[in-house]
Amino acid sequence: MENNQQTPIKTTTKRKKVIFGSLIILAVLGIGAYVFWQYQQKNIIAPTGQQTTYAKPAAGASAGSVQEARQEVEQAVQEKLDAQQKAEEEAAAQAAKEAEEAAKAGKGKKVAIDPGHQGWNVDMSAKEPNAPGSSEMKAKSTSGASGNYSGLAEFQLNLDVSLQLRTELEKRGYEVLLTREDNNTAISNAERAVLSNEWGADIYVRIHANSSESASAQGALTLIPSSGNPYAGSQYSASRALAESILASYCSATEFANKGIQENDTMTGINWSTRPVVILEMGFMSNQHDDLKMADSAFQIVMVQGIADGIDNYFGN
């Protein structure tokens, strides 16, 4: 039983030694770890404690500067990849733009538009040959009709529609020539046709509006040369195809009556044309329905779309 009393004393002393020893070892390990950590920090943190930028790798570079060099190489490679990607994207955008231009219906096609007549102040009563080399003389141009209900002058309606048609056709990729751009230009019917010929028009579209003694006459029609026309007869087939195409889509768009194609060899502006030529009589200014519709600027947009669609269809688009 004595031994039993002394044994706990010895055990307690031994345990204290073990704990003390362990604490010493832990303290040494802790200090060692702290010193090691400080040493590591000094390699990447400046002595002032402020973060510094990486220095250039020097000869006999340390582990830190090798890392810096690697980062610089990686950055250079990334920049090159970015530049390459940008160049590829730009090339793709350019190709898409070119494809879009090429896909436009009117690409490379030339349309001459003649807004019929001119202002009442312009005297065009002097005469000119009705056809090349012909002894038959006709007035250089006439003054045109006017709206019985709208009061609108035909020369103004023709110009308004023609200017909008030019804008629409250019949007579709066509090259467009107007024989006149205002109401004061003095240009004869023969001169207009020659202008279109010499410009190299693929088609010559003459914009007019009709008038009749009968107030009930209404609808659109076209005029073309006959196949037997000694001057413009060679343009007959193409002119007929053009007239059919324009009339069909114009009447479809406007819901105007389709009065068909008339062959006419008495018109100076047709006889002088060496290009496929058509006169579109858009409607009757002597008819209330047609006159008021054509004078409406919102409706003119519909008319222009119809004519432009007809031209697209003629060229097979």
The two tokens of residue 99 are: 């494809």
Smallest gap from residue 251 Cβ to Zn ion (A): 19
Q: Please state the length of the chain.
A: 317
User: Over the Cα atoms of the chain, what is R_g?
Assistant: 45
| CA dihedral angle for residue 121, residue 124, residue 125, residue 128, rounded to 10 degrees | 180
Q: Given candidates 109, 166, 206, 208, which one binds Zn ion under the rule CB under 5 A? A: 208
Nearest distance from C-beta of residue 225 to Zn ion, angstroms: 17
CA dihedral (142, 143, 148, 153) positive or negative: positive
Name residue, tokens 């955008």: 93
The interface region with Zn ion, picked from 78-86, 139-147, 186-194, 247-255 by CB under 5 A, is: 139-147
Shortest Å, Cβ 109 to Zn ion? 25
**Residue with Cβ nearer Zn ion (116 or 310):** 116
Cβ-closest residue to Zn ion? 208
Torsion angle (degrees, nearest 10) of CA 240, 244, 245, 248: 170
Q: Which stretch binds Zn ion (CB under 5 A): 30-38, 40-48, 111-119, 289-297?
A: 111-119
115 binds Zn ion (CB under 5 A): no
73, 160, 171, 185, 293 from 269: Cα distances, Å: 74, 20, 27, 16, 27
Size of the site for Zn ion (CB under 5 A): 3
Q: Does 138 bind Zn ion (CB under 5 A)?
A: no
Q: Does 116 bind Zn ion (CB under 5 A)?
A: yes
Query: Closest approach of Cβ 196 to Zn ion, in Å?
Result: 17
| Interface stretch with Zn ion, choices 30-38, 69-77, 108-116, 172-180 (CB under 5 A) | 108-116
Computed from CA positions of residues 112, 115, 117, 123, in that sequence, does the dihedral angle turn out positive or negative? negative
Residue with smaller CB distance to Zn ion, 117 or 275: 117
Can you give the binding site for Zn ion, defined by CB under 5 A? Answer: 116, 144, 208
